[in-house]
Amino acid sequence: MPLEMLTDRRVKTAKPPEGQERLELRDTKVRGLELRVGRTEGSKRWALLYTRKSDGVFRWVTIGRYPETGLAEARQKAHQLKVVVDNGGDPAANVQERKTSPTFSELAADWVELHARPNKKPQSVADNISMLERHINPEIGFIKAEDLTKRDIIRLLDVVASKADARIGKKKAKKKSNQKILDVPVLDPKRTLSHRPNRVFEVVRGILRWAISRDIIEKDPSSGMRPPLRKERPRERTLSATEIHKFWTKLDEAPLSDGVRLALRIALVTAQRIGEVSCLAKSELRLDTATPVWSFQTAPTG
């Protein structure tokens, strides 16, 4: 194995001898640093060769590709890894663990199956999955969970806050046949997601905290962060007594099933979300008393 004091020129011009597929040059300045040169253009890689302290096994780990990693940087990285080896570490094993560590989207998929589905109601799970697919994974899903930073989360929330609301709005339009004024469904690009950034933040934070509890990651980049919207605007105004009476009585005339009418009335009198009402279980009701009681536990957000 050739040993020599490598120089920038030697590294740049190095190529395998005629009839050989690869050339390996070991640096005399940094023990264990090796340049591996293939016959094809651009196939030069740096590696560090070392002996694992725990069992004396000979190991090697790739440091970088030349010319992206030059001689000086390769030597610096080799020095840093040698300190790890001297302290009983195994850089090659660390690299392998990093390759197999989950991306955020993979982590989120495990969270849905192992935590969300067993602990949340179906509509809440569906909403979480929708946020992951539409907002979260396109922005940070490809990032290794252990590499996710606070800046990545802030950027995600900024993107969500700038998106138009995909819900259908309405505008007045004339029907050509008889010129009647109708409400026509449209997408309003000026209508932004008023509360979604906070919901997205809660999902991301919940996934990261779950990963910490399962010893999947060591740090939570959302720690210390506050919801992007300090004060959420009320989604809807309060109905007046007259409007409540009108809503209640006109439900009988609405083209709805009896179940939907009942769900709307329960939501009105209990002030619960329609998702909670629609998922109401018989076991949550106590109807054998003078005053019926509905007892339920709010699904955890994490």
pLDDT reading at 158 higher than 60? yes
Structure tokens at 273: 């979300």
Q: pLDDT class for 296, splitting at 50, 70, 90?
A: low
| Domains along the chain with CATH numbers | 3-100 (3.30.160.390), 101-235 (1.10.150.130), 236-297 (no CATH)
CA–CA separation, 11 and 16 (whole Å): 12
What does the pLDDT read at residue 292? 78
Label residue 202 by pLDDT band (50, 70, 90): very high
pLDDT in tens, 36-58: 888 776 688 999 999 988 888 88
> Per-residue pLDDT for 168 more than 50?
no
To 5 degrees, how large is the angle CA 241–CA 246–CA 247? 100
Side-chain-side CA neighbours of residue 52 (13 Å): 13
User: CB of 161 within 8 A of CB of 188?
Assistant: no
How big is the CA angle at 57 (ends 56 and 58), to the nearest 5 degrees?
115
Helix/strand/coil (H, E, C) string of 145-193? Answer: HHHCCHHHHHHHHHHHHHCECCCCEEEEEECCCCCCEEEEEECCCCCEC
- pLDDT: is 97 or 131 the higher one? 131
Residue-averaged pLDDT of the chain: 80
Q: Please write the tens of the pLDDT for every residue from 227-282.
A: 877 665 555 567 788 888 888 888 888 888 888 888 888 888 887 777 677 777 77
Residue, of 275 and 201, whose pLDDT is higher: 201
Q: Is 108 exposed, middle or buried (0-12, 13-18, 19+ CB in 10 A)?
A: buried
Cis bond upstream, residue 67 (ω within 30)? yes
71-102: per-residue pLDDT in tens? Answer: 999 999 999 999 989 888 888 876 666 666 78
Sheet strands (E) in 1-95: 3-4, 22-27, 33-38, 44-51, 58-66
Contact 167, 193 (CB under 8 A): no
Q: Which residue has the tokens 């000026």?
A: 190
* Strand 3-4, strand 293-294: pairing: unpaired
Write out the H or E segment, with its range, that includes residue 157: helix 150-162
Closest by CA to 131, choosing from 186, 185, 193, is: 193
What is the reported pLDDT for 95?
A: 67
Look at residue 184 and tell me whether its pLDDT is greater than 60: no
- Of residues 269 and 34, which shows the higher confidence score? 34
> Which residue, among 113, 115, 150, 145, has the nearest Cα to 216 in the 3D structure?
145
Residue 36 near residue 45 (C-beta atoms within 8 A): yes
Report the SS3 class of residue 38: strand
SS3 172: strand
pTM (2 d.p.)? 0.47
